[in-house]
Each structure stands twice: as C-alpha cells, then as structure tokens.
Amino acid sequence: MSYRDNIRNFSIIAHIDHGKSTLADRLLEATESVAQREMSQQLLDNMDLERERGITIKARAVKLDYRAEDGQVYTLNLIDTPGHVDFSYEVSRSLAACEGAILVVDATQGIEAQTLANTYLALEHDLEILPVINKIDLPSADVERVGKEIENFIGIDASEAPAVSAKMGTNIEAVLRQIVKLIPPPQGDEGAPLQALIFDSFYDSYKGVIVYIRVKEGEVRPGQRIRMMATGAEFDVVEVGYLRATQMEKCDRLRAGEVGYLTASIKNVQDTQVGDTVTTAENGAAEPLHGYRQVQPMVFSGLYPADGAKYNDLRDALEKLKLNDASLSFEAETSAALGFGFRCGFLGLLHMEVIQERLEREFNMDLVTTAPSVVYKVELTDGTAKVIDNPMDYPDPATIAQAYEPFVNASIFSPSEYVGNIMELCQEKRGVFKNMEYVDENRVDIRYELPLNEIIYDFFDTLKSRTRGYASLDYELSGYQPSKLVKLDILLNGEVVDALSFIVHTDKAYARARRMTEKLKEHIPRQMFEVPIQAAVGGKIIARETVRALRKDVLAKCYGGDITRKKKLLEKQKEGKKRMRQLGSVEVPQEAFMAVLKLDSDS
C-alpha cells in the first residue's frame, strides 16, 4: 500500500453565493483543523474584499487530517478556487492539481451559469465530481428538483448527493465520507523526474515568494536546484511544507501526489507563473505539464492619482500589488487631462474593481480612472498591424484597412420567463444568438456570441435588472472578428479631453455620444463661463450639451464682524478646487470621470 492511497486532492466549485466558502469552513471545523476560537467567518477568504463581496479572488489550499470510520487517517487537500469568470484560467490550474471536485449547488436556486462553466472545466480535467446540495435549512429548498437538474442537465448521478446546510453544519460528515469513498487517490511516481504544478503563489517579505504546488511526479526537497520550465528561472529550494489552516508546516520533502508549498528566495511572482511546471535543474523532466499559458489582460484602464503629487505613491502601491498578482500589468501613461498615471491591464472587470478598491483601501489612494477598454486589433493600409489597448493610441481612421474586436461566447442561465428580455438585451449589445436549451421546465441556458466591449459596459448589471436578479452569466473569449469601430472624442469648451475618449462600434456612436454628454452635463457644476460639452467622431460633432454659466453663489450676510464663515467658505472653495481637474478653462470634478464609466447603468 502506498502513502498516496490515503490522500485526496479536491476543489470546491460553485456558482457565487451557493455556499462554497461556508462549506470549506465546515470541513475545516469537522476535521479539527482550526480551533473554534480561531474561526473567523470564511477563513479561506481572508481579504476583507473577499469577505465583503462573498467571492474568492486568490486560490488557497489547506491540508486536513480526517480520521474516517475505518479508523484510518486520510490527508485531504482542499484547494479553494477563485469563483469568477475573470479568473477562469486560475481556476483551471487549481482543478488540474486535483483528482476530484465537490460541486456545491444551492437547493433554492439550482444550477447557474457558473455551476455549469465550472463543472465543464472540472470534466475537462477528468475530475470525479461530487455533487452536494446546500442550504437545505432554507424554507424554499427543493433538494429533489435540484438533484434532478444536476442529473438531467449536467448528466452526473446525484442520487448519493449529500443534502447539507453548511451554515448550520448539517450533514457535513457525509461530505467527508464521500470524499474518501469517491475521489480517487493521486497517481504518480516519486522516483520519476520532478514535475510540480504551480497553482498559485504569494509574496512574503521574509521568505520571498511562497509557491503553492501539486507534485505530480518525483519529489522536491530543500537544497534541490529547481527550474521553472516556462520562464526558465532557477532557484535553490529553501523550504518545503504543508499548508495548514492557520500556519505553514515544514516537512522534509513533498512527494508525487502531495500538495504543499516551497520557498526558494524568489523575489518576484513573475518567476512563478500559475500553471508553470517546477522541475529539477539537473535531470529534470523532459516535458512540462500541459495547460500552461501566459495570462493576457483583457481589460485596460488608466489609473491616475487624484492628487498629482501622489504619482510615486501610486507606482509603489501598484508594485506591491503586483508582487502578489502576476496577472496585473501596468505601465506609465500621460494624459493631458489627468497628468501622470498608469495604463493598467486586468483579467476582467472584477479584477479591475478589486485592484482599484485595494489601492484605495490598503494604500489610501484617491484615484481617477478612465473608461475600461478592451484590446482591439487594427490592420493599417500600409500592411502593418497594431494592437490597441488605449483609445488615445487609436490611429487616424484614414489609415485603417480593417479593425477587429474581441468576442466572447456567453452563457446565460435564467428562468424562462425572461428569455425575451435577455434576447432583447443581447441584440442591443450586438450579440449573435447561438443556441438555447432548457435546463428544466422553467429554466433555460441561452448562448450568445457578444463583443467583449459591450460586456464591460455594465452588461451584467443590466442583465440582472432585466431579470429581477435571476439570470447568471458566464463567458469565455472566442476570438477576434472584423468590426466597424470609431473613436469618440469628448470636447469641453472646444478642447478634446483625452482621458474621456473611447472606442465604440459605429452603430453605437450616436447613442453613446448623447448619453456621455448628458451625463457630463449632470456632473460638471456650473462655472463662471458657459461650458459647451461636445462629442465628436473624427472631427464631426455628433452630440452637444451646454453647462450654463453659474448665476448665484454668494454669502449675502454674515453677522457683524464675524468673518469666520466667509473665511471657511473661501477655504472650502480652495479645498474644492483640489477635487477638480482643470481641463483648459473648465473645472471637472473627479466624480464626472467616474460617472461616465457607469454610463448605461441607469438608462
């Protein structure tokens, strides 16, 4: 009998809010991995943001010791995965480190878009899928219906699926029993050349990068010289160990089938790309594990410090975040309107929001951001090609032979009564209908091909509002298609504000120009002069609004010789000017830049 026979490596996959993290917490408790007093809610989501939003952003892993009914102790390696479409590549790498996955489905909601997307991912990796029906404590729970949905729509047997309440701690033991019973132990040969899959990494200021690995073949131990097969970087292993719920536990070696960490005085997470294979420098593996790819940002946005003097602080903050986030990219950018800042690349909108929020919360940065842009490709008349992630770089239309924009395959799950609304929305967003399937009598899975550009403009919010919150969305990039694109410029008082330019499909230009000028009018306060707001495509004005001149802002009377109030007003004005961006002769509050990002959300 091998040491591997008592190991089970698994993930938990679920649609957002179906109870993934709560179930993980219960498993930790049930295996006494965490003392009750250390139990803060949702231990694995330890960023404030993750807890607040109920999402997992970073993958985590934890080794649990489970004494089964047969008296044997099993090692359960739980690998928690990010739960959002932005991080689907990271999810796939976490899944690749496992032999099984627990599929958590909410007994009141049934299958959702991400349930399916994650299940497909797990099936691609040949994982044993263990359905668990959660939230049976809620009055509207319907275990039987949800079990049928899983069987009929996903096609996996749910007759044995434990019905649990992670919140109340009901029936957790059944889940543990099934993990041992149904998930196969890992394969691998500890004598073979080392192949270890990196599924995440963290920067620690004492130990350097802590690399989370699943050893597939061979073994890794301190003192070995290792090589990252994709990046070619080499290091000497300092420490290896297991990941416990509340600390790291050093060990002598990690063998094939095991999950743990290694440190090797690595300075930079760029050297430990998720999905890369760790092997030994000498007598290493001939081939890396398959599935690695370099992560490409999908969404770009300009980030500027509200106070220009904080430029260096922003750079330092971005560098610190990048220590832990290899998928974040940034480079210096200059805008006539906003001054010095950074063009940042993100995996998606959620990733962008998370980075912005972390900059604001953890680094106290006050930011002005420009509208997110996807990556366009253009072929120029001179035969060259160009990749555009910044509207400021969009070439003169006369020099463009053909422009291309990225599309996604989107899957939308919804009660069937909203099919009409969803199709209408997708048509508005230039979607192409692909397919529709019934999940059960009342719910459908609608497939559309949609431009990514349309999705990053609040598609999700609109979808939610038009389906009373019932629809769920998942998508993956499908490739580039020819498109008719134009660059829309915004002029204030006759001058182009570069930071407000964006690229838009020709058919959408007029509508968006109108919305943009209206929205700006709402947010630009009346000033001493009349301020025309214009939207232009290639020099032609297609929309116009006017902010009329301010008429009245005066303190008529203060009591006698008490000028404190006048003085305070003066100081308030002075302070207020700092919140304003001076664009030519026009003062624009920073909120105006933010407001135009949410252009469609209240339309």
Partner 1 sequence: MEDRPLGMYLHIPFCRRKCNYCAFYSAPAGEAAWEGYADALCRHIALWGERLGRRAVDTVYFGGGTPSLLWRQLPRVLAELGRCFQLDTGAEISLEANPGTVGREELRALRQAGFNRLSLGVQSAVEGELRALGRLHTAAEAMACVEAAREAGFANLSLDFMLGLPGQSEESLERMEDFVRRAAPQHLSAYILKVEAGTPFGEMGEALRLPDDDTAADLYESCVARLSALGYGQYEVSNFALPGFACRHNEKYWSLEEYLGIGPAAHSLLGGTRFFYPADRAAFVGGGLEQLQREGTPDWEEYAMLRLRTAAGLDTGRAGLPDGLLERARPFEKPGLLYIEGPVIRLTPKGFLVSTPLIAEILYG
Kindly state the number of chain residues that form the binding site for partner 1, as judged by CB under 8 A.
Answer: 26
With contacts defined by CB under 8 A, name the span among 53-61, 277-285, 454-462, 548-556 that binds partner 1: 548-556
Largest CA distance in the chain: 95
**Residue from the set 555, 591, 601, 603 that interacts with partner 1 by CB under 8 A:** 555
Residue 136, annotated as binding a ligand? yes
With contacts defined by CB under 8 A, name the span among 211-219, 429-437, 509-517, 525-533 that binds partner 1: 525-533
573 binding partner 1? (CB under 8 A):
yes
Min separation Cβ 491 and partner 1, Å: 19
**Residue from the set 281, 401, 541, 570 that interacts with partner 1 by CB under 8 A:** 570
529 binding partner 1? (CB under 8 A):
yes
How many CB atoms are closer than 10 A to CB 313?
A: 15
Min separation Cβ 567 and partner 1, Å: 6
Min separation Cβ 582 and partner 1, Å: 9
Three-state secondary-structure class, residue 7: strand
Q: Which residues sit opposite 64 in a β-bridge?
A: 76
**Residue from the set 312, 397, 563, 602 that interacts with partner 1 by CB under 8 A:** 563
Min separation Cβ 368 and partner 1, Å: 21
Q: Which residues sit opposite 340 in a β-bridge?
A: 334
Min separation Cβ 557 and partner 1, Å: 5
The answer to whether the CB of 59 falls within 8 A of the CB of 271 is no
Residue 18, annotated as binding a ligand? yes
Residue 453, annotated as binding a ligand? no
Nearer Cβ to partner 1 (484/577):
577
Among the listed residues 83, 35, 78, 46, the one whose alpha carbon sits nearest the alpha carbon of residue 175: 78
Among the listed residues 212, 211, 216, 210, the one whose alpha carbon sits nearest the alpha carbon of residue 196: 216
**Residue from the set 577, 591, 602, 603 that interacts with partner 1 by CB under 8 A:** 577
Residue 147, annotated as binding a ligand? no
Nearer Cβ to partner 1 (291/584):
584
Q: Supply φ then ψ for residue 112, to 5 degrees.
A: -125, 175
Task: Calculate the alpha carbon distances from 600 to 172, 450, 489, 591 in Å.
Answer: 44, 17, 18, 16
Residue partners of 189: CB distance under 8 A and separation at least 6: 217, 218, 256
Number of residues that make up the chain:
603
- The Cα 111–Cα 74 span in angstroms is 31
Q: Outline where 82-194 has alpha helix (H).
A: 88-96, 113-124, 143-149, 172-182
**Residue from the set 187, 384, 566, 601 that interacts with partner 1 by CB under 8 A:** 566
**Residue from the set 30, 39, 569, 597 that interacts with partner 1 by CB under 8 A:** 569
Q: Which residues sit opposite 580 in a β-bridge?
A: 589
Min separation Cβ 545 and partner 1, Å: 17
559 binding partner 1? (CB under 8 A):
yes
Output the six-digit token pair for 157. 């047997």
With contacts defined by CB under 8 A, name the span among 40-48, 115-123, 164-172, 549-557 that binds partner 1: 549-557
Output the six-digit token pair for 60. 């985590």
Output the six-digit token pair for 460. 């999700």
In the range 467-496, which residues lie near partner 1 by CB under 8 A?
none
- By rule CB under 8 A, what string of x and - marks binding of each residue 298-337 to partner 1? ----------------------------------------
398 binding partner 1? (CB under 8 A):
no
Nearer Cβ to partner 1 (180/580):
580
Min separation Cβ 204 and partner 1, Å: 47
Provide the CB-side half-sphere exposure for 24 (13 A, CA): 30
564 binding partner 1? (CB under 8 A):
yes
With contacts defined by CB under 8 A, name the span among 55-63, 152-160, 237-245, 563-571 that binds partner 1: 563-571
Q: Which amino acid is at 543?
A: A
Q: Output DSSP code: residue 368.
A: E
**Residue from the set 204, 528, 591, 603 that interacts with partner 1 by CB under 8 A:** 528
Exposed (0-12), middle (13-18) or buried (19+): which is 237, by Cβ within 10 Å?
buried
- The Cα 438–Cα 78 span in angstroms is 33
556 binding partner 1? (CB under 8 A):
yes
**Residue from the set 364, 476, 567, 601 that interacts with partner 1 by CB under 8 A:** 567
Three-state secondary-structure class, residue 336: coil
* Sites of contact with partner 1 (CB under 8 A): 527-529, 549-557, 559-564, 566-567, 569-570, 573-574, 577, 585
